[in-house]
Chain A
Amino acid sequence: MLTDHDKQEIQAELARTPSRRGALIEALRVVQRRAGWVSNADVVEVAAFLGLPVSQAEDVATFYSMIFRQEVGRHVILLCDSVSCWVNRADALLTHLRSRLGIRLGQTTADGRFTLLPAACLGACDRGPVMKVDEDLHTHLTAEKIDRILESYP
C-alpha cells in the first residue's frame, strides 16, 4: 500500500517532470526507501497512482538492478566486482564476506540482517576495492576493515 507520505513524495516528484512517465523511477525509489524493496503489488499501485499502464511501470522496475524486486535484508551490501576493484583483489573480499555471512551473492542472511549483491562499479575506482552498505560508501577495503564495518550495521 502506498502511504500518504509516499503519495506526497511522488506528487512532489511529478511537479518536477514534464511527463508522468518521468516520475516513475523516483516513485519506485520512494517505495523502496520505505519498504526496502518493491513488490508486484507496489508496481501496480505506483502505476495506478501515476496513471500509467502497469506494463510501463513493470518495464522500468525490472530494468534497474538497484530497484529490488525481492525482499532484502535490513542492510544491503553492494560489493564492486568491476575491473579496478578486481585487480585490487576484490574477489578475495567476496570469499571473505561469503564465509563471514554464510551466504552467496544474491542471498540474505538467515537473521535478515544482510543481503549481499554484486555491483558493476560504484564510481570510486581510485580507492578500490570498495563496497556500499545501504547509503554509505566504504573504500580501501581489507578483510579486517570489512569485519569492523559490518559491526556498525546492527
Chain B
Amino acid sequence: MKIYIENRRFDLTDPSVNLLEACLSLGFDVPYFCWHPVLRSVGACRQCAVKVFKDEADTRGRIVMSCMTAPAEGMRVSVNDDEAREFRAKVIEWLMLNHPHDCPICDEGGECHLQDVTVMAGHVRRQSRFPKRTHRNQDLGPLVNHEMNRCIQCYRCVRFYADYAGGRDVGVQGCHDGVYFGRPSPGPLESEFSGNLVEVCPTGVFTDKSLKRHYTRKWDLQTAPSVCVHCGLGCNTFPGQRYGTLRRVRTRYHREVNGYFLCDRGRYGYEFVNSPRRILQALLRQGDNALAQVSAEEAIRLAKSLLSSGKCIGLGSPRATLESNFALRTLVSPSRFFHPLAVSQHLLSGSSLSLLRRFPLASLRDVSQSTAVFLLGEDVSNTAPLLALALRQAAVRAPRLAKAALLKIPAWHEAALRTAVQEEKGPFFLAATGPTRLDDLAAAPYRAAPGDLAALGFAVAHALDPAAPAVPNLPPAAAELAERIAASLKSAAAPLIVSGPSCGSEALLHAAANVAAALGKTNPQARLCLTAPECNSVGLALLPGGNLADVLRALRDGSADTLIVLESDLYRHADAALVDEIFTAAKHVIVIDSLANATTARAELVLPAATFAESSGTLVNNEGRAQRSYAVCPPKAPVQESWRWLTALTPNVSWPRWEDILAAMAVSSGDFRDVTTLGPAADFRLVGQKIPRQPHRYSGRTAMTAHIDVREPAPAADLDTPLAFSMEGSPLNPPGPLIPRYWSPRWNSDQGVHKFQIEVAGPLQGGDPGKRIIEPSSEPAGYFAPTPPASEGDGEILFTPAWHVFGSEELSVHSPGIAELAPRPYVALGPVDAGRLGVRDGAPVTVTLAGRTLALPARILEAIPPGAAALPAALADLPFFSLPARGSVSLAAPAAPEGRP
C-alpha cells in the first residue's frame, strides 16, 4: 500500500497498522498519549491529530486522529500542516491546564513523555489563570508512588492494570474534571505487574518508589542491557547505577520474550545488589570460627592448596551464568561437576531439558498468540509472572480475532474490540493444586493433587490420540473434562500446553509431553511451554552432573574430600539434614557467592562474586534462549565474576577476556556452538567508537570522586564488551543486543523505543538479542506411560508447594519492597479438611511433615481440594521440604516453630 506523508511516497509493508503507527515507524514524530504499542488505540487524548487530504487537488484537508485512522491506498497525510500543529498545541495546552509546574521535584522529570510531547507540540506559555484541581494521593504500598495531581487522564494506567494485566484493585473513579485513577481505598497494589504503571504512565502520577529512596535522574544513570535473574523467563532489563549502588530496573524491549513489560519481582528485586549482606572481601574461617578478611592473592593461594588433593568436586548453580558453571566444570573436570539439587529437583530438571529438546517450544510471544491453552499444574503467576501476562493475552485474543473478522474491526481499534468482545474469553483450561491468579480466565478450574493433574493430562493426550496410553480408573468428571480439553485443543489453530516443575511432579511433565506429542502429530503449530525455576536452570541442565545425594556418596566413599560451591545456598535446594551431612563429610568447603547465606556460613573460604550488575555473562531461559547480560558497572576489587575466580584456580587455562571463555565453551559442546555470536564481538565499534553506558548528559563526573582525589580518574576499561563505562563513545543507535538505554533526540522517555525498532512493536534494528540454542528434534516423539502418583511420607494430608511471586525467590527478598510483600509462613487447607479438623482461618495449627513439626497459622482457601494442603515454597522463614509429600495437620500447637539451622 502506498501513502504520501509530507508529499513523500512511502510503501507500507503492513497495512494492518493505524496511521500513527505507520508515521512513527517511518520516523515521523507524531505526539501521542493514550495510544500504546501494545494497549493500542482508544482515541481518548486527541494529541495525535494529523491532516489527511483526499487527493492531490485537495488543499484544505481534514484533521483526523492518526491513532484512530486506517491508512488507505494513495492517502495523503501531513503531520506538519499548520492547522494540525495548532490543533495539537491547543490539545496539550488543555491537558496541561491542571498539571502542576513541579518538574524539578518530579521523579519523572527528564524522562517524561508529557514533557517531551509538550515541547514537541510547541506549548510554551500558560494562559489559564484559574486554580488547578487537586487530588488526595494514595499509599499504594512499597513499590509504586502515587501523585494524582499530575494526571492528564490518558487512561493508560487502568487500561494496562485492569484491562491488560487483569488487576482488580485499580480503576477510574469520578467523572468530568474530577476523574481519579487509583484504588477504592489506599493500600498495596495487588497485581504483580504494578510496576509497569511507572512506565505506562506518560507522566509522574505513578513513579518507582524504590528509586525514590536513592533518586537519580535518567541522564545520570549508567545503564547496560541486562537479563533479569529472578525467574527462568529471561526478561530483558536496563538496570541503572550511580555512586556505586544500583538505583532501579526498567524494561528492555524484547519482542519474543517480555515485550514492553516486567513483573514486580524483576523490576524491584534488584536491591539485593546493594544489600548489607553482600560479600565484598575474600573471607577465611579462623580458629575461633569467625570469618576474617584475606587478600585476593592470599585467597587464591589458599584455594589452590585446598584443591591440591585433586579430590575436589564442584557444585554448579542454576542462578550463576553459563560461563561460571563452565569454568567450575573445567576446574573440577566434568565427572566431578554436580548440580546443587535434591534428588527430586534434579530429576525434574533433567526431565524438563529432555522435553525442551523434543518439542517445538513457545516463546512468550508465541504464548500470547496461541488460540487454545491447557495450563497443567503450574502456578505461573507466582513462578513465571510474565508468562501469566502472556497467557492472559492468549485468553482474550481468540474472541477478539473472531469479532474483528466478523465486524471488520481493525486489530488496533482497542475501543471497538473491547466493546464488541466484553468479557468473552477464548478456550483456556486450567488445572492446578490450588487457587491461581489466572482462575478468572478458565470457565471451571480443575483442582486436584499433582498426581491427579497428571492423570488428567495423560487422559487428554489419549483423547487426542488413541495411540497415547490411556489412564485406568479415571473419575468420570475428569474423563469428561479431558474429552472437552482434547476437542478444544484439537480444533485450535495454535494450541499450547503449559506446565513446569514447580509442583514437584515428574508425571506432570510426562503428561504435558504426551499432550504436546499427541497435538504435534497433526498440528505443527502446537507448542509446549515449560517454566524453569531459576534464571539459568536450563543452562545448568545443559552441563550434566549428579545431584546432592551423589555428592554425599562421593564424599563418603572417599573419592572426594573438598567441595567448591558456586553461587548457591544448598539449604534452599535440599533437606537441611542432607546438606549438613555433606558439609560434615567434606574436609574443605570453598563457596563463591555474592550474599552471605546459610551455605557461606559453612564455608572455610568464601570468595566474593560479582552480581549480574557487575558482570557480563550468558543465561539460558526456559525456552532454551541464550541471552547476554552486560555488566552495568565494573566490580569493585576483589569482587569479580565467579568464572574469573575459578579460572584463576585452574591450571593451564588462561581466559583473560570474556570472549576467551566463550570461545572455549563454543568448542566444548554442540549446545554451546552459538555462544560466541549472541551479540557483537568485543572489538565491535560504531564508527570506530565504543558504545557509552553513560548518557551524553551524564553530570557530575568530575565531582563524583572529588572528595577522594580532585583529579578525575580514568573510566574503568572494559575489555570484555563493546560497551564503555563512560559517556564518551558513539552517539548512534547500537544494534539490538547492545542498546544500553532508550533515548533519541526529542524522545527522552522510554516511549522512544520505537526509534530502535524496525517498525513499531517489531524486531530491534540490528537484530533481536539472544538466540535459541535448543532446537526441537525432528524425530517423532514417543509417549510416556502414566505412572501412579508416588507419595512420600505417611499421613492423611498431601502437602503441595504454594509459590509466591514475592518471597519464593532467593535474591529478590533482599529488596525491602519485596520483603514487605512476602507472606509470613502459613499452611493452607481446603474448607472440607478445615471443617473436619475444626480449624478456623488464622488459627494456629501443628504441621507434621518429613520428620519435622511446625507451628503455623492456617489459611482456609476454597480452592484447595480435600485431602490436600499447601505450604509456601522456598520462603526464607521455612525449611526446605521436598514436596509433594504426605504429613498431617492438627489443631493443637505444642511445638515451637523451627527455623533454618
Contacts and interface: CB of A to CB of B under 8 A. Distances in A.
Interface of A: 18-19, 21, 40, 43, 53-56, 58-59, 62-65
What range describes how many residues of B lie at the interface?
Answer: 10 to 19
A62 B422 CA distance: 21
Contacts of A56: 168, 171
B423 A54 contact: no
Contact of A53 (B169, B172, B173, B423): B169
B443 to A, nearest CB: 14
B883 interface: no
Given A43-B184, A62-B175, A63-B175, A19 B423 contact: yes
Nearest to A63: B175
B170 interface: yes
A21 B423 contact: yes
Given A19-B422, A43-B184, A55 B171 contact: yes
7 contacts: A53-B169, A55-B170, A55-B183, A62-B174, A62-B175, A62-B180, A65-B175
A55 B169 contact: yes
Contacts of A43: 184
A54 B184 CA distance: 7
Contacts of B185: 40
Nearest to B175: A63
Interface string B143-173: 0000000000000000000100000111111
A138 to B, nearest CB: 27
A21 B183 CA distance: 18
A59 B173 CA distance: 4
A122 to B, nearest CB: 18
B422 A63 contact: no
B305 to A, nearest CB: 63
B174 A55 contact: no
A55 B162 contact: yes
A63 B183 CA distance: 15
A58 B173 contact: yes
A31 B422 CA distance: 26
B577 to A, nearest CB: 45
Contact of A18 (B168, B173, B180, B422): B422
A58 B171 contact: yes
Contacts of B162: 55
A53 B175 contact: no
A66 to B, nearest CB: 12
B172 A59 contact: yes
A55 B168 contact: yes
B173 A62 contact: yes
Contacts of B170: 55
A58 B170 CA distance: 10
Contacts of A19: 422-423
Contacts of A65: 175
Contacts of A55: 162, 168-171, 183-184
A54 B422 CA distance: 19
Given A18-B422, A19-B423, A21-B423, A54 B173 contact: no
A59 B422 contact: no
A54 B174 contact: no
A43 B175 CA distance: 17
Given A40-B184, A62-B175, 16 more contacts: A19-B423, A21-B423, A43-B184, A53-B168, A54-B184, A55-B168, A55-B183, A55-B184, A59-B172, A59-B173, A62-B174, A62-B180, A63-B173, A63-B174, A64-B175, A65-B175
Contacts of B173: 58-59, 62-63
A54 B162 CA distance: 12
Contacts of A62: 173-175, 180
Nearest to A19: B423
A64 B173 CA distance: 10
Interface in B842-866: none
A64 B184 CA distance: 16
A58 B184 CA distance: 6
A53 B180 CA distance: 17
Nearest to A51: B440
Interface in B104-155: none
Nearest to A58: B184
Interface in B167-213: 168-175, 180, 183-185
Among B184, B422, B423: residue with most chain A CB under 10 A: B184
Given A43-B184, A54-B184, A59 B171 contact: yes
B184 to A, nearest CB: 4
A6 to B, nearest CB: 20
A79 B44 CA distance: 31
A18 B421 CA distance: 12
A20 to B, nearest CB: 8
B787 to A, nearest CB: 39
A54 B185 CA distance: 10
Contacts of A63: 173-175
B167 to A, nearest CB: 9
A103 B162 CA distance: 41
A43 B185 CA distance: 12
**Most B C-beta atoms less than 10 A away, residue of A19, A53, A55:** A55
Nearest to A44: B184
Nearest to B182: A55
A41 to B, nearest CB: 12
Nearest to B174: A62
A21 B185 CA distance: 20
A15 B900 CA distance: 55
B182 to A, nearest CB: 9
B151 to A, nearest CB: 15
A21 B169 CA distance: 15
Nearest to A22: B422
Counting from the closest, the 8 A-B pairs by CB-CB distance are A53-B168, A55-B171, A59-B171, A58-B184, A62-B173, A54-B184, A63-B175, A62-B174
Contacts of B171: 53, 55-56, 58-59
Contacts of A53: 168-169, 171
A121 to B, nearest CB: 15
A62 B175 CA distance: 7
**Of listed B169, B171, B180, B423, residue having the most chain A CB within 10 A:** B171
B860 to A, nearest CB: 17
Contacts of B172: 59
B379 to A, nearest CB: 21
Contacts of B169: 53-55
A8 to B, nearest CB: 24
Contacts of A40: 184-185
A64 B172 CA distance: 13
A59 B170 CA distance: 9
A19 B422 CA distance: 8
A63 B173 CA distance: 6
Nearest to A55: B171
Contacts of B180: 62
Contacts of A64: 175
Nearest to A52: B168
Contacts of B183: 55
Contacts of B175: 62-65
A55 B167 CA distance: 10
Contacts of A59: 171-173
A53 B183 CA distance: 11
A53 B355 CA distance: 39
Nearest to A20: B423
A113 B106 CA distance: 48
